Chains A and B, each alone.
Chain A
Amino acid sequence: MEQDITIYITDREGEKHEILAPTDMNMNLMEVVRSYELAPEGTIGICGGMAMCASCQCYIESDHDLLEKNDDEEAMLAEAFYVKDNSRLGCQIHIHNNLEGLEITLAPEE
């Protein structure tokens, strides 16, 4: 299990979950949330992970150094609701070793 990292996810009801996320399956944060069913199906990852909806918006609560947003993510966040300074689209954050200990909160459903 050395390829797994620990991530802390607070769901939309405010419950905090400590979960293990694999780093070897090319997964993103939205897919990890879905794999643990931390948000109801049909309310997250609606566009499948193309940064074309904001259903996987989350707030980054920890101090991790994430890759910069690309143009698609910037544009989508500019049209998303409940956006804060620490908003990101989960589908654009790939699970990688340097995310060990990442803490996020899922944004409310639109």
Chain B
Amino acid sequence: MIKTDILIIGAGPTGLFTVFEAGLLKLKCHLIDALPQPGGQCAEIYPKKPIYDIPAFPEILAGDLVDNLMKQIEPFQPSFTLGERAETIEKQEDGSFIVTTNKGTQHQAPIVAIAGGLGSFEPRKPPIPNLENYEDNGVEYIIRDPELYRDKKVVIAGGGDSALDWCIFLTEVASSVTLIHRRNEFRGALDSVEKVQELKNQGKIELITPAEVKDIIGEDSVEGVIVKKGEDTIRLSCDHFIPLFGLAPKLGPIADWGLEIEKNAIKVDNTLDYQTNIPGIYAIGDVNTYPGKLKLILCGFHEATLMCQSAYQRIFPDKRYVMKYTTVGGVEGFDGSKKEAPKAVVKTIE
């Protein structure tokens, strides 16, 4: 069981900045994120895009913003459960919460801060009839164990990096690899596109473009796919069909936690502290809603700051505290580091 003061669900910019504000109050944080790396959408969707409305940064790349936040929170030694989705929450008799992920990892904290953005990233599933019936019976959206494909016939659909990269990788494992994409152009990294071209020339990858998988054949498991290419319908025998169309965020299991939901977001009390209808559970950043809500990173930072003050009061109801400026109090890390403003130099002139 992982124990912490504030359990943050979602390691995007708002979740990461929460670690800093909590750290100033000497509260420890642990973050859960469904993605394998911190940064949320900034890291997953648009790391190379510039952001222009972060105060005091006329321009900063989303990926650099995440790197800076990771550096800023380093003294507060946050811990992470990455690549796992927060699945269930249980309130304990002592008022704390136990959050369990889809992989069974358990976390306990008196405060839960949901900073889940638009939700956890899930694979986009193409609208193919009965696709879900074949899931884990020949249809996979994420390649977890490449050995599953050893000496098998594999069909991959998609036109981005993951489709290209897995095609390249699986030529070493599978007995045949076929890549299907709706157009002839691919938007993956140039290296990957060139490598697929080379493997195609060597006959190691069969490329079918512009084409689309329309149906799956098979009794209980995948035995083949029906591909539409222009006016032609191709029947392709295979053991696995892997649609790789990237990820899209879904609110997911959080929607069933008994929280008040409005407009696909969690309703919070914005006049006070961004607490949800369940005391001790807060929602900050893009995942929450209140009158006048704006889904901006800078608003997430503000919400995280106010939320941490409220969380402190909730954990220590009898302690008096006033907010300290970092220019005055400095930053005392949990790692023993201390950053503070240099003291004034006083010297006598003789």
* Residues in A lying within 8 Å of B, measured CB to CB: 40-43, 46-47, 50, 52-53, 55, 71, 74-75, 78-79, 81-83, 110
Contacts and interface: CB of A to CB of B under 8 A. Distances in A.
B53 to A, nearest CB: 12
Nearest to B119: A42
Given A78-B185, A110-B127, 7 more contacts: A46-B249, A50-B46, A52-B45, A52-B46, A55-B248, A75-B185, A79-B160
Contact of A42 (B182, B185, B265): B265
23 contacts: A41-B263, A42-B118, A42-B251, A42-B263, A42-B264, A42-B265, A46-B249, A47-B41, A47-B45, A47-B46, A50-B46, A52-B45, A74-B183, A75-B159, A75-B185, A78-B159, A79-B158, A81-B124, A81-B126, A82-B127, A110-B124, A110-B125, A110-B248
A79 B265 contact: no
A51 B249 CA distance: 15
Given A40-B264, A42-B265, A74-B183, A81 B127 contact: yes
B119 to A, nearest CB: 8
Contacts of B45: 47, 50, 52-53
B183 A78 contact: yes
Contacts, number: 54
Nearest to A82: B127
Interface residues of B, number: 26
Nearest to B128: A81
A53 B46 contact: no
Nearest to A50: B46
A78 B118 contact: no
Contacts of B107: none
The 10 closest A-B pairs by CB, nearest first: A42-B264, A41-B263, A75-B187, A78-B183, A78-B182, A81-B127, A79-B245, A78-B159, A52-B45, A81-B126
B263 A53 contact: no
Contacts of B41: 47
Interface of A is mostly: loop
B127 A46 contact: no
A43 B289 CA distance: 15
Contact of A79 (B49, B182, B289): B182
A43 B183 contact: no
Contacts of A82: 127
B329 to A, nearest CB: 36
B265 A41 contact: yes
B44 to A, nearest CB: 10
Interface in B230-247: 245-246
Contact of A78 (B46, B124, B181, B248): B181
Contacts of B127: 81-82, 110
Nearest to B183: A78
Contacts of B181: 78
A3 B49 CA distance: 31
Given A42-B265, A79-B160, A53 B248 contact: yes
Interface in B94-144: 118, 124-127
Contacts of B251: 42
A110 to B, nearest CB: 6
Contacts of A74: 183, 185
A46 B158 contact: no
A74 B185 CA distance: 9
Contacts of A50: 45-46, 49
A46 B118 contact: yes
B208 to A, nearest CB: 14
A55 B264 CA distance: 14
A74 B183 CA distance: 9
Nearest to A41: B263
Nearest to B182: A78
A80 B251 CA distance: 20
